[in-house]
Structure 1
Amino acid sequence: MHALRHFYASALFDAGENIKAVSEYMGHADPGMTLRAIDSVFRYGPEGADGP
């Protein structure tokens, strides 16, 4: 389910949505939280820092 949230956020960004709107859609308190979440996915992959 969590991977689906990341996919949804990625699709919104791909469609040109801005970070503030995506942050609100995702229920994050601030856009920085959204950016950190996306950064961790690209840095470590969908399974997190420990891998599968």
Structure 2
Amino acid sequence: MVWRPAFSKADLVYVNRADGMHTGLRHLYASKLLARGVSVKELADYLGHEDPGFTLRVYTHLLSSSHERARQAVDDSAHLWELPSEDGLEAA
């Protein structure tokens, strides 16, 4: 284990997974991937979870708010709601 020398040098006793390092690193990894737009399904695969629903339940607090993305999506598609121009062109 790569942590043991550091624990030994600090005169600490290493107890496997009792220090929270494993969980902390998994959360850091998950938060970085989610922040970069990796889907929950992909993250589940990367973390070794069989059920993406489990991944969502565990890491949902790390998902950034999608309000701004939703507003941007509506703004980007605003041309779909524009009225026809007055140049006489119409859909067939």
Q: Which runs of 4+ in 1 moved over 6 A?
A: none
Q: Distance in 2 between matches of 1:2 and 1:27?
A: 14
How many residues align? The count is 40
Unmatched 5+ stretches in structure 2: 1-21, 62-92
Q: Report which of the two has the higher share of helix.
A: 1
Unmatched 5+ stretches in structure 1: 43-52
Deviation digits for residues 1-52 of structure 1 (CA, Å, limit 9, x no counterpart): 111101101100001111110000000011101011114xx4xxxxxxxxxx
Q: Distance in 2 between matches of 1:3 and 1:28?
A: 17
Letter in 2 for 1:3: G
TM-score (norm 2): 0.41
TM-score (norm 1): 0.68
Identify which of structures 1 and 2 has the higher relative contact order when contacts are C-alpha pairs closer than 8 Å and 6+ apart: 1
Q: Which has the larger radius of gyration?
A: 2
Identity within the alignment, % = 45
Alignment partner, residue 30 of structure 1: 51
